[in-house]
Structure 1
Amino acid sequence: MRGFLAKHRELLRFAVVGGISFLITTAITYVLKFTVLRANPVTALIIGVLIATIFSYVANREWSFRTRGGRERTHEAALFFLISGVALGLNALPQWISRYVLDLQQPHLTLLGQEVADFVSGMILGTLLGTLFRWWAFKKWVFPTEGARLRAVRSSDDADISDRKAA
């Protein structure tokens, strides 16, 4: 099991960050959807995803892909947010299709049916689609070089150990 965890460390960390981002997205989306954006559920989802994306950049850069790099930080951030913008569109697409193409909303459905359709299309299918795209694109374009930041991470880890020993 330890070998599996070590081999797939990046993917597992990416999944943890994604899980936390999912919770952030869900909380913000539903607060907005049931308060100020009642008539705009796709907009509520987009705002939730945008806020979670900011958290995701910091967490992925500093934890999930902490040893990867290969780009200047501003270029890396620009690519991260560009790719996240494409993923945001992919994330919103299933809910948009559900609401406005398949018309899975009131009065054709009950409020519960509408909310289940929104959750399945926007939160489950959309998140899955966006996450798969992000995993592939982040590794390919945002953090392309494995081990690029390894020396900085090791130096930082060694400094932390030295500080603990000195204390």
Structure 2
Amino acid sequence: MRAFLTRHPRLAALIAQLGKFGSVGAVAYVVQLAATNLLWEAAGMDALPGQVLGTLVSIAVAFVGNRFWTFADRARTGYGRETLLFLAMNGVGLLIQLGCQAFSVYVLGFDDPVSRNIAGNVVGVALGTLFRFFSYRTWVFPERPAAEPGRPTAEEEPPARRP
């Protein structure tokens, strides 16, 4: 396997990135499960508001981990832009998750804690995670642009002199 990955460095980089993304996601997932279930059980919140607030807490954890670890080698396109796109992509991921939750509760009639967790925190999170990984790689934390032949990269370019 090592020889195969040596011959295919882009695949090796993707696998490493998936590992980091998965690690950050696992931590955020535990935070979400704890927050969501605490809101449902201890605070007595309904299914969807509890899911939204629990997910918002985990989004903050995921942003820090993904920006500063998973995609640390990617281009920096501005903290504000990255934050806005990250939140927008997580909004779509949350809608995917809530769609699964709503389908389970309002269409299938499964409104017990186990069903809520399966629909929102297993199926919804899995589908939302696939979308998030694709969107983070593509739009939120894009690859560094390739240097044009004869032009230095941003790291090689000397700082601008002031007159």
8 Å contact kept, 1:26–1:48: yes
**Residue identity opposite 1:22 in structure 2:** Y
- Equivalent residue number for residue 92 of structure 1: 98
| Deviation, structure 1 residue 43 | 1.0
8 Å contact kept, 1:95–1:121: yes
- Equivalent residue number for residue 73 of structure 1: 79
Over residues 10-51 of structure 1, what are the superposed CA-to-partner deviations in whole Å (9 max), with x where a residue is unaligned? 11000000111110000000111002234x111111111100
| Deviation, structure 1 residue 69 | 2.2
8 Å contact kept, 1:90–1:126: yes
- Equivalent residue number for residue 124 of structure 1: 122
- Equivalent residue number for residue 24 of structure 1: 31
Structure 1 stretches of 5 or more lacking a match?
106-113, 152-167
1:49 to 31, 50, 55: 55
Bigger relative contact order, structure 1 or 2 (CA pairs below 8 A, ≥6 apart): 1
Over residues 46-105 of structure 1, what are the superposed CA-to-partner deviations in whole Å (9 max), with x where a residue is unaligned? 111100001111110000000012522211111111111111111121111100111113
- Equivalent residue number for residue 43 of structure 2: 36
**Residue identity opposite 2:121 in structure 1:** M
Structure 2 stretches of 5 or more lacking a match?
147-153, 156-163
Change (3 A) 1:10 1:147: farther
TM-score by length of 2: 0.79
Q: Report sequence identity in percent.
A: 31
Counterpart secondary structure, 2:142: coil
| Deviation, structure 1 residue 6 | 4.5
- Equivalent residue number for residue 161 of structure 2: none
Indicate the structure with greater helix content: 1
- Equivalent residue number for residue 141 of structure 2: 143
- Equivalent residue number for residue 131 of structure 2: 133
**CA distance in structure 2 between the partners assigned to 1:19 and 1:89 by the alignment:** 20
